[in-house]
């Protein structure tokens, strides 16, 4: 299992803290069971957010390919021959 990145830790922690505070303030609960349910649901939400943060992808190195014009040039022209190929073949 890969180790979590710093971004995943930060996003997950912030989600747990802020969602716990928001749910406690909105529900106005004072019972131990209600606080435990809120804490568990905030931890689950924080874990979900941390796991959905995109992971860094490996960099792809571009391979240089020849230009299209170089691939279509005949071998005689590419080698720097001064006379056309058909005249050389006739001699």
Cβ neighbours of residue 54 closer than 8 Å, sequence gap 6 or more:
none
Cβ distance 12 to 47 under 8 Å? yes
Dump pLDDT digits (tens) for 15-61. 999 999 999 999 998 899 999 999 999 999 999 888 887 766 777 77
Q: Give a yes or no: residue 10 inside a domain.
A: yes
Residue 71 has pLDDT above 90, yes or no: no
* Overall average pLDDT of the 53-77 stretch: 65
Q: Give a yes or no: residue 69 inside a domain.
A: no
The DSSP 8-state label assigned to residue 79 in this structure reads: T
Q: How far apart are CA 67 and CA 73, in angstroms?
A: 11
Q: Give a yes or no: residue 5 inside a domain.
A: yes
Question: What's the pLDDT at 37?
Answer: 94
Burial annotation 17-45 (CB, 10 A radius, 16+ → b, else e): eebbeebbeeeeeeeeeeeeebeeebeeb
Q: Give a yes or no: residue 6 inside a domain.
A: yes
Domain that holds residue 37: 1-55
Residue 91 has pLDDT above 60, yes or no: no
Q: Give a yes or no: residue 87 inside a domain.
A: no
Q: How many domains does the chain have?
A: 1
Q: Give a yes or no: residue 61 inside a domain.
A: no
Q: Give a yes or no: residue 60 inside a domain.
A: no
Highest mean pLDDT of the ranges 2-11, 50-59, 64-73: 2-11
């Amino acid at each position: 299992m890969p180790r979590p990145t710093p971004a995943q830790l930060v996003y997950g922690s912030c989600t747990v803290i802020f969602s716990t505070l928001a749910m406690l303030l909105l529900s106005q609960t004072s019972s131990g069971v209600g606080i435990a349910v809120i804490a568990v649901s905030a931890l689950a939400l924080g874990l979900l957010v941390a796991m959905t943060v995109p992971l860094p992808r490996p960099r792809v190195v571009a391979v240089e390919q020849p230009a299209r014009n170089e691939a279509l040039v005949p071998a005689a022209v590419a080698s720097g021959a001064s006379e056309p190929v058909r005249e050389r073949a006739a001699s």
